Amino acid sequence: MVTLVVAISAMDVKKNLNNRTYKLLIIVFAVVIMGFSVAPVCNYFRSHTRDHTKDYGKLYQTGQIALHHGDIYRKGKGDTFQFMYPPTAALILASLSAFGLLPFIVIIVLANSAAWVASVLLSIYLTTGKVLRQHSLLYLIPTACCAPYIWDIYHLGQPNLLLLACMLGAFTCLQLKKEWCAGALIAFAAAIKAFPILSIVYFLYRRQWKAVLSTLAFLCFLLVLLPAPFRGFQRNLQDLKTWNE
């Protein structure tokens, strides 16, 4: 009887320690996210010029050009394009830039924060089959190792965290036998920045034919059909041609 009581007490102590560890990790993670999110906003208040807002300013300017039906693939110094993402990305930026530069920065920061949380949880799920109550080091070590790289994403205003979340979500959908959803997520990521389309090679290798068809179908919709009402069908095709060059 005494042994049973001691065993139960030890389990309760271990459970309480685990609960405290998880709460501490959540608090630390929230503080880090807040710290990373403050820097781009502070840069905005330092100066409204494009140089101080890093890529946020460049993306905002592209969004404004697309919003006013201008040429999104304009050349700058050195005869290089100022915007190198697909036309669909410019359409998304146009919708965000309609609110002004500061809301534009805040929206992207919030999107990066949500994508970071999703990436951590999806990585844990793909590794263990569960999202919560796993060993604390599984949450801590990968996040800590990636923190400097993620800081650059927040500081500069890059979409790579969102792409990572989409790709991890796609592989999670494959595990759950939702191949059409997996293809849609890869297509969405590729419509923002081209390189996630390489995942289709993995789909072909694994003979995930529904995922392949879904990727191609949604990519066609996102690149060709979705921007057409806003940019015009012929102009969007010209944008796609310029982007491919």
pLDDT tens-digit readout, 13-28: 344 446 788 888 889 9
pLDDT above 80: residue 102: yes
- Give the pLDDT score at 4: 27
CB count, 10 Å around CB of 200?
A: 19
Q: Which two tokens stand for residue 94?
A: 């146009």
CB count, 10 Å around CB of 11?
A: 10
- Give the pLDDT score at 43: 83
For the chain, first and last CA: distance in Å? 78
Averaged over 30-57, what is the pLDDT? 80
Could you read off the pLDDT of 154-198 as tens digits, one per residue?
A: 988 889 999 999 999 999 999 999 999 999 999 999 999 988 999
Q: At 219, which amino acid appears? A: L
CB count, 10 Å around CB of 173?
A: 20
pLDDT above 50: residue 6: no
- Give the pLDDT score at 77: 64
**Where does the pLDDT of residue 3 fall: very low under 50, low under 70, confident under 90, or very high at 90 and above?**
very low
- Give the pLDDT score at 8: 29
* CA dist list (Å): 5 to 13, 14, 20, 217, 238: 12, 14, 23, 61, 75
Tell me the backbone φ, ψ of residue 206, rounded to 5 degrees: -85, 0
pLDDT above 50: residue 2: no
- Give the pLDDT score at 140: 87
Could you read off the pLDDT of 131-164 as tens digits, one per residue?
A: 887 888 888 888 889 999 999 999 888 899 999 9
Q: At 216, which amino acid appears? A: L
Could you read off the pLDDT of 47-98 as tens digits, one per residue?
A: 655 555 778 988 999 999 999 888 888 776 656 777 888 999 999 999 999 9
- Give the pLDDT score at 78: 58
CB count, 10 Å around CB of 56?
A: 24
